[in-house]
Structure formats: C-alpha cells, structure tokens
Chain A
Amino acid sequence: MIDPSMVPTIDPNPLPAPYWLFKTLLLITFTLHIIAMNFMLGGAFLAVVARFTSKGKEFRNRIFLDLAKKIPVFLAATITIGIAPLLFVQAIYGQYFYTSTILIAWPWFLLLVLLVVAYYGFYYVTYNGQRRPGPAGIVLLVSLALVLIIAFIQSTNVTLMQTPSHWAAKYFASPTGWSNNISDPTLIPRYLHFVTSAIAVGGILLVLLALARWKSDREYANYLFQYGGKAFMYATMAQFIIGSWFLFSIPRNFRMIFMGDSPLASALFLVGILGTVAAIFLMSGAIRKQNIRVAAYGVSGLLAVVMITMILMRDILRDAYLEPYFHPHQFAVKTQWAVLPVFLVLFLGGVGLWLLMLKRYGLFSGNKVPPTESLPTEPAEPKAEIVG
C-alpha cells in the first residue's frame, strides 16, 4: 500500500456546498452523460456494422445514413453534459483525479485531439454519407476507432484514480506522463463492460427510431426494430461473460460487497442482474410478436433501471477502493449561499428554455420528417396492429 502521504492534501478552500449535493449532482449528470455517450458510441458502432454489411441490403444502408445524421448531435450532447460530472468529480475527488491524469498526462491530453478529429469525422459522414458512401464508411470507422480509444483512456483514468497504491511506482519509473494501467486486471473487463453496454443501448436507439417510423414506413421500421433489438440482445448476452469477468477481476473483498456484505449494494446487484435478464426475454418476445411498444417502452424502462443500478454500483466500488484514504468528513464545508440559489434558479430556467427550444422546433410534436423526406400521405395502419 502506498504511503498515504503521497495522496495530495486538499486545498485550503472549503467545499462550497454539502458533500451529498456534489455527490448527487455528480451521479445524476454522469448518468445523463453515459446515456448520451452510449447513443453516440453504440450508434456509431451499429452504423459501421450496417454500412459494411449493406451489400444487397438497401435497408442497412438506410440505417447507416439515419444514424450518421444523429451521431454528431449525440456527441455534442455527450461532451456538453459531460462537463458537469467532470466539474463535480474534481470538486470532491480532485486529489485522486488530478494525480491519475498526470500519470497518464499525454494520453489524457491527446484524448482531446482524438476527440476533435473524431468529431469532424462524424460531421463528414453526416454531410457526405449519401453522396460518397465509400469514403464516408471508412471515415466513420476511423472516428469510431478514435472514440473507442478515448473510452479506453477514460477507463484507464478511472481505474488509476481509485488505486493510489499504484501511483508511486509508475511516477518514479517515468514522470513524462506516458504511464498506463494495463497491469490492473480490472481495466480490460471494465472497459469491455462499458463498451458492450454502449452497443446494447445503441440497439435501443434503433428500436426508438423504429417506433418513430412505425406508422409512416412499417417495412423499414420493422427492419430497424429487428436489427436494433437483436443488437441489444446479443450485446446484453455477451455481458454475462464480460460482466462476470469484470466481477471476478476486482479484489475479493470488494466483490463481496455486492454479494452479501452490504445489503444495499447486493440489492442493487440483484436488481441489475434480474433487470438485465428480464430485458433480454422481453426484447426476445417483442421481436417475435413484432410488438414495438413493448420493446421501445418496456425494455428501455427496464434498461434505465439497470443503468441506474450500475452507476450506483460503480460509485460504491470507487468509494470502497478509496476507503483507506478518502472520507467525506475530511472536507471543511462552507456553503456559498450567495451563489448556490443563483445556480439552481438558472439551472431550472436553463432546462425550461432548453425544452422550449426543442418544443418550438417541433421535436415533440412528432412532425419530425422534413418535407424533402416526407412520404405519400397514406392513412396510418389501424392502431390495434401497432399494439398487437
């Protein structure tokens, strides 16, 4: 174990609000960030697969084009929402966060360079997917590879920040910021666990797109549904192997927190596993019966619950790792009452304005199909069939 004196001391300024508030904001904004990230990463992955398997399958090419248009928006959301958890994690876990990022400083810095390149790549595909499907496919593949590398750097940082005992050896071997954390047995399974769940959520994104087109373009919507639903099922089934690998890679005393030692953590774990199993069966049944609503509402609802349990378990695991060094009572707290209400009011106002912007744009009215793409105005299919 590292000499605890290597863990940097907190700076002299007190925490400007209670610890629990930062923790709550961290977990909520991180969850939203992960959802956006999953849509982006999973969407990009499924778009690449669709593009490179589209020979003779016109619908696959449409999936590629449909997704390509949405990925930059999801990436914008990922980055924009991601700033908040990045802020709050520094407010309460700063000593760990800064130190681990310094150890991997160059990858951490280059992450942003990769991000800019990937981002412009996604925009290139958005604007050129139709006209130049060949190059666009390759650019999309490159951008996907770059965001996968970024995800790996993020996983490296998270595993490193919660293991201070690994810091000194890495730093004194080389202070140039080129360390890695490959020697941590949890890194690879943890990374694969996150990436695979992103693919599963990407599948749900396609199911939601299918729902939006269910009335207007049933044949294509049904194809989307099958493609997305199966992607969700296969990726989630793979999690039973990858997730177990991850579970057994973490030290036994941490694993046992989720297997009896802590009732709350164990309950979360159980809900997560049962929710995942239920989601697979529900999706399988929905595909068989062509019931888009069950897939779109039922499975996503279950998935949201599973995701929340996973985020909470992730947090419990981090605090378990840091238990020898980190305790919330280490913080001096002096709430900035002169600013905090300003933030809360502006936050609520901002969310309201944001919703109003989406509403006035017509994003809630179902009037999404632009005139150029609008289809012949056939009467919608009878409602019974949609449900049945």
Chain B
Amino acid sequence: MNYPIWDVSFGAGLLIALVAGLHVFVSHFAVGGGLFLVLTERKALKNHDHALLNWLKSHTKFFVLLTVVYGAVSGVGIWFTIGLISPTATSNLIHIFVWGWAIEWVFFFVEITAALLYLAGWDKLNPKLHQWYGWIYFWAAFASLVVINGIITFMLTPGSWLDVHKFWIGFFNPTYFPSLFFRSAICLALAGIYALITASVQKDKDLKARIVRWGALWTIPSLLALIPFGYWYIREIPAALFLSARGPMPTATHYAFLAWSLLAVTIILMLLALFTPRRMHLAFALVIGLVALGAMDSFEFVREDVRKPFVIENYLYDNSLYANTMPGDGGFTVDNLDTVGVLHSAAWIDQRTITPDNKIAVGHEIFRVECQACHTANSYRGIHQLLERRQWSPATTRAMLTGLSLMHNGVMPPFAGTDPERDALAAYLDTLQTITPKAAAVDGKVIYQNNCSMCHQDHPNDQFFTGIVTDPTAAADSLKDLTTIFPLMPDLKLNDAQRTGLVQYINTQRPPAQHAQLSPSSEGGK
C-alpha cells in the first residue's frame, strides 16, 4: 500500500512462479553444466575421443545459447517481476544486500565473457588455454550461486539478522549451507540431464551410449545426495515453519509430496536410461527433463510456501506490511493499521471514507492492497473458488477475517485494519460468491471441512478433537456459540441436527484412547 498494486487478473504469484520456475532450471544448469563442459573436454582429450569432443562442441553451443541468452535474461526477469509485484520487499533487499548483488554482478560479467570466449575458442585456442576459459566460467558461475544463495535463504531464515542488522549475519543465515549444498547437487544433476538432450540426437550409437553413461554418472549420485541435503535443509528451518509443509496447508503439503516423488521418478528414469543408453531417444530425454523440472519447481514452491505469510520471515509480510513497528516503517504495520485504518494509511487507494454506497468498492480496494499479493478474485488462489467450496454466510466470512492469522498453521497474515474496514472487505468478498448456499449440510464431515479445517488440523491430537467434552449432548451444547469457546472462532449458528452431526464426526476422529473410553458410555446411554 506504500506502492501501487499491479492488478494481475490471473495472479501475480503465478507470474513469478512462471518466470522463476523456468529460470532456476536453466540457471542451475548454467553452473553445473560449466563444470560438465570442462571435465568432459578433459576426459575426451585424455581418451583421444574425437567423437565426444565434436559432440561437446555442439553441446557448448546449446549450452551458451540457452544459458547466456535465456538464462541471463530470465534472471533479470525475476528481478523485474519481484520489483513489480513486491516492490517493498525488493527495496528492502536491495538496501540490505546491494553490495552482495554488486559482487554477483562482477562474477556474472566474468562468467558471460568466459562463456562466449569458451564457445568461440573451440577452434582457435590450444586445449589448455581453452580449458582455462572453461574453468574461469565454472568458478564465476558457481560464485554467483554462492552469492545469490545468501539472499534467497535470508528471506526464509533471516536468523539473528533481525536483531543485529549486519550483512554477513543475514548472508550466512541458518539455511545458507544446506541450501548451497542442495542447490549445488541440483546443478550437477542437471548437467547430466541436459547432456542427454543433445546426446539423444546423435547418430553414432556408441557415442550416444558413452554420453548417457557419463551423464548418468553426474546425475544419479547428485540426485541421491539431494536426500541427505534435503533433510539437513529441513532441519535448519524452524520446526514451526516447516509444519505448514506437513499440515493442512494444501499447497506446501502437495508440493513437498510432489518434490520427493518426482525426485524418485527422476532417479528411476535415469537408471532406465543407464541400462539402455544406446536407445536414448529425444522424447525420453525431454521426459526426464520435464520430470526433473517438476521436482525442482516443487522444491522451490515448498520453500516459498513455508515462508508464508512472510516474504522476509518475521520481518515483512507478503502484503508488504512490516511484522513489527520500527523506525522508518512508514506506518505500514499491522498494529498501526488496526489503529489508524487502511484508508488513512495506504497511499494508493481512491476512497478515504466508507459509506453504505461505496462499501463494496472500498472492500475491493482493501482486497487489492492487502490480499492481492497472493490471491485473486477468481483465478489463481481465487477467493471465488474458495467461497464456492466453503459456502460461508456473510457473517462467517466476516468472522473468518478476524481469525485470519490462525488459518492453516499461520500461513495467512492477520487482517490489518479497523472493524468497519473488515466489514467492507467481507462485503466485497461476499460478492465473489455467486451461488446461494445449498440447504445447510448436516453431515459432520462436510461442516468440519467447510468451516473448521482452515485452522484445525486433520489430526487426532488437534485441540478440535481433544478439547471437546466426550458426552455427546454436552458436546453439542458447547457448540451453540463457538465464540464462548474461543473469541476468534466464527459464530456458525449451527442448528441442532448440524451440531449433532459435527459431534458424531468429532467422535470418529478422536485419539484412540479417548475413543475407546467414549464408546462404552455412549452405548450405555442408549
């Protein structure tokens, strides 16, 4: 709200995912592929393998055209995109890490020059000098990973930077090294996978087999190394944060599952390739590449999702509000907005007062400045779809906004603003729900999923299942007004049948110990 919000109808987050998701798949290749080029050149020269050397020349051209053009421009593309979508975060990161980026730029400059000369030098330079350019390329490319890794990991685990605000403390943060090892392994794995693509179109089957075996040697051990590095990485992420990758937060959980499964599939496909190296077909190489892309992007999604609701953990929310009051925050904190209001804090809104006539329009503006960093009205992470599924009444929607920060293990930021502003937002959100709610459901499971599962977990130990008295009648009575149980819960106004249904569902989900105690008594009551 300090900056205007770019209204991307299909979802700003989707745009970043698209740009970054493809960039990382090329940029990690740019690092690992550099080492692959120079070591393969050495191997080919040592074995006097002219066929391999000739293939490597064409592979270099493929490598340079992909990494120097698409890789470099899409890297700038991420920067452009985050500046458009999260200008506050970008501005903070620039001021914290501008010298880090300046250092990365030096490596980048050396890297690009070395890449172009390595490509152009194939027929001009003696092998020793040619490899010298290859080594410079690789080390400069790796150094740029060493630098950018500090900034990316800082966003997830800023650690004690939050207290001391020192460059190197933020840079060498808790996940710096696990991430560096993890990403380095990805780099090496991709070097082998990309080699399959250019190898697959070779007519000489012996050559093809040699390249596939050599590529698999790069890929398979690196993929296996991802497992311990991945666990190390997870251990360094605060446990409470990583919870959202295991709990009911849908995206992170799905992507964590996808990341590990696709990793397994990539390993299996590479083993298949290793056993039939002479038959490597372009389509098969591309399938391996796509599966690996899926695995890698799933990992990046998990990393982004466990960071939510922050863009810089415990410092800046995704919607550009600072987590805590500090000098220079410009008043863009949750506390300040709760007191002063969105309409009197945000610069880029058109309305300053709420009237019955403009309530929905104001709600829309509040949606834009507070929610649209992640959500859309009816597309990517669309509120329309969410409300259609949940079928909330306007009162429930409004109440849910009160307990927003409790949703999904805390992956939502709190609503920031005054009560009338929350009402305006709720009024706007109600307009996104186009179908009228069906007759109130009495199935306890449906009631639970539509109204409770945003905050409570499908886990027997969740308070939801342990905290309610075991006697069915008393339990149903206790659900009459939920706000008496906990003030941030919505007052669902469930009727008798619904309450009974919900209690029945709760009883099926309780921990086995409680369940066992419950059964005889409920039977006895009959």
| A contacts, CB < 8 Å to B | 5-6, 8-17, 73, 76, 79-81, 83-84, 86-88, 90-91, 94-95, 97-99, 101-103, 105, 108-109, 111-112, 115-116, 119-120, 123, 167, 171-172, 175-177, 332, 336, 338-340, 342-343, 346-347, 349-350, 353-354, 357-358, 360-362, 370
Contact = CB atoms under 8 A, between A and B. Distances in A.
Nearest to B72: A79
Interface string B99-127: 11111011111101110110001001100
A353 B110 contact: yes
B116 A73 contact: yes
A347 B106 CA distance: 6
B469 interface: no
Nearest to B75: A83
A336 B114 contact: no
A281 to B, nearest CB: 37
B124 A370 contact: yes
- Interface secondary structure of A, over-half rule: helix
Given A5-B347, A11-B92, A357-B133, A109 B3 contact: no
Contacts of B99: 16-17, 336, 339-340, 342-343
Interface in B1-23: 2-9, 15
B95 A16 contact: yes
Interface residues on B, range: 35 or more
Contact of A350 (B6, B106, B166): B106
A344 B474 CA distance: 72
Contacts of B112: 76, 80
Contact of B90 (A88, A98, A175, A357): A98
B74 interface: yes
B368 A116 contact: no
A119 B350 CA distance: 41
Interface string B64-87: 010011101110110111011001
A116 B88 CA distance: 27
A5 to B, nearest CB: 6
A121 to B, nearest CB: 11
A94 B94 contact: yes
Interface of B: 2-9, 15, 65, 68-70, 72-74, 76-77, 79-81, 83-84, 87-88, 90-92, 94-96, 98-103, 105-110, 112-114, 116-117, 121, 124-125, 129, 132-133, 136, 165-168, 322, 326-330, 347-348, 350, 368
Given A80-B72, A86-B79, A357-B133, 5 more contacts: A14-B95, A99-B87, A177-B84, A332-B328, A358-B113
Contacts of B107: 346, 350
Contacts of B168: 338-339
Nearest to B83: A98
Contacts of B368: 175
Given A116-B70, A119-B69, A175-B5, A84 B105 contact: yes
Contacts of B81: 109
Given A80-B109, A342-B103, A357 B114 contact: yes
A91 B101 CA distance: 11
A94 B95 CA distance: 10
B4 A112 contact: no
Nearest to A112: B77
Contacts of A88: 98
Nearest to B112: A80
B90 A361 contact: no
Given A5-B347, A175-B6, A338-B167, A350 B94 contact: no
B101 to A, nearest CB: 5
A264 B113 CA distance: 38
B102 A79 contact: no
Please give me the 7 A-B residue pairs with the lowest Cβ-Cβ distance, nearest first.
A12-B328, A98-B87, A13-B95, A9-B330, A350-B106, A175-B7, A339-B99
Nearest to A336: B167
Contact of A361 (B69, B100, B125): B125
Nearest to A370: B124
Contacts of B79: 86
Nearest to B327: A12
A143 to B, nearest CB: 12
B95 A11 contact: yes
B3 A98 contact: yes
16 contacts: A11-B95, A12-B327, A13-B95, A16-B96, A76-B112, A86-B76, A91-B94, A102-B87, A103-B4, A109-B81, A115-B73, A171-B4, A176-B8, A177-B6, A342-B103, A350-B109
A73 B98 CA distance: 27
Contacts of A358: 113
Contact of B2 (A8, A171, A360): A8
A117 to B, nearest CB: 10
Nearest to B132: A360
B133 to A, nearest CB: 7
Contact of B84 (A14, A108, A342): A108
